[in-house]
Amino acid sequence: MRYEGAVYRPPSESNSLIIQLTIGCARNQCTFCAMYKDKKFRIRTLNEVVQDLYMAREAYKIPIRRIFLADGDALIVKTNDLLFILDKIKEIFPECERVSIYGAPKDILNKRPDELRSLKEAGLKMVYMGAESGDDTVLENVKKGATAQEIIRAGLKVKEAGMILSVTFISGLGGVARLKEHAYNCAIMINAMNPEYVGFLTLMVEPLTPMYEQVKSGEFKLLSPEEILDEMEIVVANIDSEGTIFRSNHASNYVALRGTFNQDKSLLKSQIEDAKRHQRYRPEGFRGL
């Protein structure tokens, strides 16, 4: 396989074979994100991708159960080309049980329902969508490029196609000014989509991003660990999404939380209260993306 630049994948894809369909991110405008700043976006040729699949087959003699299609915006690839790659995956890795992909809200919305269904039938079982926030003001401030309603529509469209939906949010993204609004509207968005999985990272401001400059100038005020948990209390209290598997146990999080809604709601609340009471937070030096 040939990888270009740093390659990012969801935590749950740690044991997956990663194949780059795209290089970088098509939009690359989010003020908090430094992931793809060193890459110029392009869609790889089908020949390149197929060569990588054969190279991976040669390199790995063990069964490959999961494959993740990267980089950011990988769902932007034309449906016919995605179907071609999915067919090649079946041919080269017949043991593969799940293929998953990053899907930006606008890229999902740009696919017709029948296109998404055909992708699912061809083996694309899971879509990871970065929502970041459920609050329109926050989404506009960070230049997400989609409104809350567009993100909800995109999530529902994935589910209607029969795919598994995993949605990611960022704790602290509203700063001190939008703490309550960000938290409450994240919960409302989750309720509207009822995704199979929800993950919360915690904001870490990277150099060379617009948000880094906003923090330096005082325009954006970061949340303390206590305020992050104040925000998470609001999120948990307002989620009503039966069956949604909840994870806030990424390396960026001050406190590791995990459970399933709605059954673990009380447990999550008590874990947050306990962490606040005893100030059990991951030290800054141990946090990372």
What is the CB-side half-sphere exposure of residue 178 using CA atoms within 13 A?
22
Using 50, 70 and 90 to split pLDDT, how confident is the model at 110? very high
Residues 269 and 275: their CA atoms lie apart, in Å, by 10
Q: Looking at residue 289, what is its pLDDT?
A: 62
Residues 43 and 6: their CA atoms lie apart, in Å, by 16
Task: Confirm if 211 and 32 have CB atoms less than 8 A apart.
Answer: yes
Q: Is the bond leading into 262 cis (omega within 30 degrees of zero)?
A: yes
3-state secondary structure of 61: coil
Give me the residues paired with residue 66 across strands: 98
Q: Looking at residue 234, what is its pLDDT?
A: 98
Using 50, 70 and 90 to split pLDDT, how confident is the model at 270? very high
| Domain ranges, ordered by start, for the chain | 11-282
Could you report the per-residue pLDDT of 182-215, keeping only the tens digit for each?
999 999 999 999 999 999 999 999 998 999 999 9
Task: Confirm if 21 and 43 have CB atoms less than 8 A apart.
Answer: yes
Residue 4 has pLDDT above 90, yes or no: no
Give me the residues paired with residue 246 across strands: 198, 259
Max Cα–Cα distance, the chain, nearest Å: 56
Residue 278 has pLDDT above 80, yes or no: yes
**Class (C level, CATH) for 11-282:** alpha beta
Q: Looking at residue 132, what is its pLDDT?
A: 98
Could you report the per-residue pLDDT of 47-57, keeping only the tens digit for each?
999 999 999 99
Task: List the Cα angle 166/138/232 in 5-degree steps.
Answer: 60
